């Protein structure tokens, strides 16, 4: 993962607890989201305050401070770790594109079963390799064909 497993604990100014975790600066965007939408969603869902340091340390890690009750902090940590584990539209897709030579475009809109369509563009070999990499990542391909028309 792109975060350290060490947490620091303390108390915030309001008498609640606080903890901090280190996150690779290249992954902070997964927590913040476009326009800050993801971090606001996390704060509303777990009812904890999440602050991310502006500057990275010498190892390229940023400090994420979580303030709230112990249960709110635990929920926030779990949700942040889930955000970091997700590769949606991020570095995992870019890595698969680089490794396969295939352009991978994932639809942001899922169907009623939570499945998203994916468009693969490239040579037949590149599409085959992209499908292999996607399956290797644990994604089930439905209605896949050799022409790369979707799944």
pLDDT, tens digit, for every residue of 93-112? 888 899 999 998 887 776 77
Query: Which helix (DSSP H) or strand (DSSP E) does residue 40 occupy?
Result: helix 37-46
Question: What predicted TM-score, i.e. pTM, was given to this entire model?
Answer: 0.52
Q: What is residue 46's predicted lDDT score, i.e. its pLDDT?
A: 94
Helix, strand or coil, per DSSP, at residue 103: strand
Q: Does position 10 have pLDDT exceeding 60, yes or no?
A: no
Asked if 68 and 76 count as a contact pair (C-beta separation under 8 A), the reply is: yes
Least-confidence region, from 52-56, 76-80, 114-118: 114-118
With b meaning 16 or more CB within 10 Å and e meaning fewer, what string describes 25-63? bebbebbbeeeeebbeebbeebebbbeebeebeeeebbb
Q: What is residue 7's predicted lDDT score, i.e. its pLDDT?
A: 47
Asked if 12 and 38 count as a contact pair (C-beta separation under 8 A), the reply is: no
**Average predicted confidence (pLDDT) for the chain:** 81
Q: What is residue 5's predicted lDDT score, i.e. its pLDDT?
A: 39
Structural domains of the chain, ranges and CATH numbers in brackets: 3-85 (3.30.1370.10), 91-136 (no CATH)
Residue 125 and residue 146: Cα distance in Å, rounded?
Answer: 10
Q: What is residue 44's predicted lDDT score, i.e. its pLDDT?
A: 95
Q: What is the mean pLDDT of residues 71-75?
A: 94
């Amino acid at each position: 993962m792109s975060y350290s497993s060490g947490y620091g604990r303390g108390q915030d100014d309001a008498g609640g607890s606080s903890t901090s975790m280190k996150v690779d600066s290249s992954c902070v965007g997964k927590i913040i989201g476009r326009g800050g939408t993801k971090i606001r969603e996390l704060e509303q869902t777990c009812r904890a305050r999440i602050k991310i340091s502006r500057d990275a340390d010498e190892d390229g890690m940023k400090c994420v401070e979580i303030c709230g009750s112990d249960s709110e902090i635990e929920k926030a940590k779990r949700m942040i770790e889930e955000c970091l584990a997700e590769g949606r539209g991020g570095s995992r897709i870019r890595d698969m594109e680089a490794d396969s030579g295939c352009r991978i475009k994932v639809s942001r809109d899922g169907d009623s079963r939570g499945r998203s369509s994916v468009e693969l563009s490239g040579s037949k070999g590149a599409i085959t390799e992209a499908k292999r990499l996607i399956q290797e990542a644990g994604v089930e391909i439905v209605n896949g064909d050799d022409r790369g028309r979707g799944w």
